[in-house]
Amino acid sequence: MVGAMANVYNVQFRLLPRELNTAELVALCFIVCLGGFALAAATQDPPIAPGGSRMILVPGGAFAMGDVFAEGEDDEQPVHQVTVAPFYLADAEVSVGQFRRFVEETGYRTSAEGPLNRAAQDSLIRIGMDPELPREQRIAAYDASLEFGGCAWWDPDRRSFDFDEHLNWANLRFEQTDAHPAVCLSWDDAASYANWVSGLSGLPPAYDVENGLLLDAEGNATTDITKVPGYRLPTEAEWEFAAREGGRVVRFGNGTDVARGGDAVFDADVGDYTYLERGPQRRGTMPIRSHSPNALGLFDMAGNAWEWVSDFLAPYPQDSQVNPYQTVGRGRAVRGGRWGGDAFELRIAKRFQWQSNNRCDASGFRLARSAQ
Ligand SMILES: [Ca+2]
């Protein structure tokens, strides 16, 4: 870009027919500079949030949200019309290097770095997994177990989750560089990071993390996402709209209808799906932006880190919605598939939900912001 501009100036000045006086030179510089600004505006790079996330402007619009291929699960139905306002979405998941800077500058401790008491934790997890006990009791015990440290990890050999009390974003069972997505992060961790970025930008925090509330510019709780000026997580609807490249009927967030192991970070060596082309099984995350982005320029909307969104998972309504924001539910929604998950999980329409302090060695996030 700089080189191209220098060439433009050189050509301009070589073509001058005679020496110009000062006033003419000032006028000429003004015209050339105006042209330069116009050129720069036309080719403007996406704004970079403090902390390093590249924010892509996603134009708002209306779309069909949910299981548009009628091949998923009950909570992906009914397909319903949703309209979202324009917003910015980071082109990639927050990386290990980005998250490290946040931790180093703030001393933040993640949910996975809670107190260690393996005996007490094991006892609660056992209650939580006992099918003989009432559901509510099991849920309460499992929730209580999350107050202790550690992180669930995906065992690629058994293809199931286990728990390790020593794991956290900086200590995983697979190798990561600073370019990999940060994982073992809870919703609380993600919201805390977003608030830190808002602070660096001189913007009010988007979250009351302790109470799980979304905040407007005055610090009051709101469910109107357009009233939130700070950095935040995308809503579930915004995430799906962006994964659909602006609402398109498409199966995967990288813009394809067929899951190929070479195109995204997921387990392509399991499952018998018409939309799967068999490929490698992943044994951990890969650097962000390793594969082609979708048409909006968004990377890893299919696989790599699983992505927390801002609101709770709630049953879909029949009616159309505008900027929906769910405040009630068992857990926050998690979207986009993960490195250890299969092609079914990778589908845009697939929804998971987790308590806000839960985490696993796939759970990460990307930043969003309303376009004011
Ligand atoms: Ca992802």
The CA 63 to ligand 1 mean position distance, Å, reads 21
Are 264 and 224 contained in the same domain? yes
Are 283 and 262 contained in the same domain? yes
* CATH at 319: 3.90.1580.10
Q: What is the pLDDT of residue 21?
A: 54
Give the tokens for residue 103.
């931790």
Q: Which residues of the chain have pLDDT under 50?
A: 1-20, 25-26, 28-43
Q: Which residues are within 5 Å of ligand 1 (an ion), measured at CB? A: 300, 304-305, 307, 336
The CA 53 to ligand 1 mean position distance, Å, reads 14
Give the tokens for residue 91.
């082109």
Are 215 and 270 contained in the same domain? yes
Which residue's structure tokens are 């403007």? 44
Q: What is the pLDDT of residue 132?
A: 93
Q: What is the pTM of this model?
A: 0.87
Are 35 and 74 contained in the same domain? no
The CA 336 to ligand 1 mean position distance, Å, reads 5
Is residue 288 assigned to a domain? Answer: yes
Are 24 and 92 contained in the same domain? no
The CA 305 to ligand 1 mean position distance, Å, reads 4
How many domains are contained in the chain? 2
Are 217 and 293 contained in the same domain? yes
Are 198 and 269 contained in the same domain? yes
Is residue 171 assigned to a domain? Answer: no
Is residue 158 assigned to a domain? Answer: no
The CA 85 to ligand 1 mean position distance, Å, reads 22
Are 93 and 24 contained in the same domain? no
Are 248 and 225 contained in the same domain? yes
pLDDT tens digits for 86-98?
A: 999 999 999 999 9
What's the Cα-to-Cα distance from 107 to each of 61, 64, 99, rounded to whole Å?
40, 42, 11
Is residue 235 assigned to a domain? Answer: yes
The CA 181 to ligand 1 mean position distance, Å, reads 9
Are 296 and 54 a contacting pair, CB within 8 Å? no
Are 8 and 106 contained in the same domain? no
Are 215 and 304 contained in the same domain? yes
**CA 306 to centroid of chain Cα atoms:** 8
Is residue 156 assigned to a domain? Answer: no
Q: What is the pLDDT of residue 118?
A: 86
The CA 109 to ligand 1 mean position distance, Å, reads 23
Is residue 246 assigned to a domain? Answer: yes
The CA 339 to ligand 1 mean position distance, Å, reads 8
By residue range, what is the domain housing residue 95?
55-110+181-370
Is residue 33 assigned to a domain? Answer: yes
The CA 34 to ligand 1 mean position distance, Å, reads 40
Are 311 and 274 contained in the same domain? yes
Is residue 186 assigned to a domain? Answer: yes
